[in-house]
Amino acid sequence: MKKTSIVMECLHRFCGECIQKCLRLGKKECPSCRIHIPSRRSLRPDPNFDDLINNIYGDIDALEDYEEKEIENLNKAKNMNNAYAESRKRGIMQQAIHRKKKTQGGKEKAAPTSGVKRKSPGGATASGPSGPTIVGLEESTLIEYVVRRHPQETLVDRLDREYLRTSRDLPMHILKKFLGQKLSYQPYSHFQV
């Protein structure tokens, strides 16, 4: 509690800013016992209680900052979704940059996707499950990976190049073995890919 105030009708103590906000926005009553408080004039500062809190805890602002940092560290240590959220943000940013480059440099018009059927190289019309197919467009046999170390990982170094391109037929254990050799980390089976 900072700048403690006492409600004169019931002698309950509250943080000065909190009780004034409560009276201004809510009903004019004590939050603890619901007794009517006519106005802010019914509140009195309590410097003796402030001194008591100061003697027990010391600098309250420093204590609150310390507690906030501790809570933040605990959340980072226990919440694995932070790494996912950071990765997702980076991916979205990279997509936006790629989209921007594509629209600025390419100036190609998008192919219409309103159910138009295109002719395949054999002469027959074809439309895929997600709409029409484009002549000459083949499915790529390559997969691109962005490999980043987990923010809390300390045993493995970062890769110099985070982008890998490989065949889509590559088994995962081979990729793990490659990363283990690249990062000098054994056993490579501990990698989570």
pLDDT digits (tens, 9 = 90+) for 20-39: 888 888 888 888 898 888 88
When the pLDDT of each residue in the chain is averaged and rounded to a whole number, the result is 75
Q: What is the pTM of this model?
A: 0.35
Inform me whether the pLDDT recorded for 14 exceeds 80. yes
Cα dihedral angle (86, 91, 94, 96), rounded to 10 degrees?
-100
pLDDT given for residue 82 in this prediction? 66
pLDDT digits (tens, 9 = 90+) for 51-63: 888 888 778 788 8
Give all strands of the β-sheet with 131-132 in edge-to-edge order. 118-119, 125-128, 131-132
pLDDT given for residue 118 in this prediction? 45
Average pLDDT over residues 155-175: 77
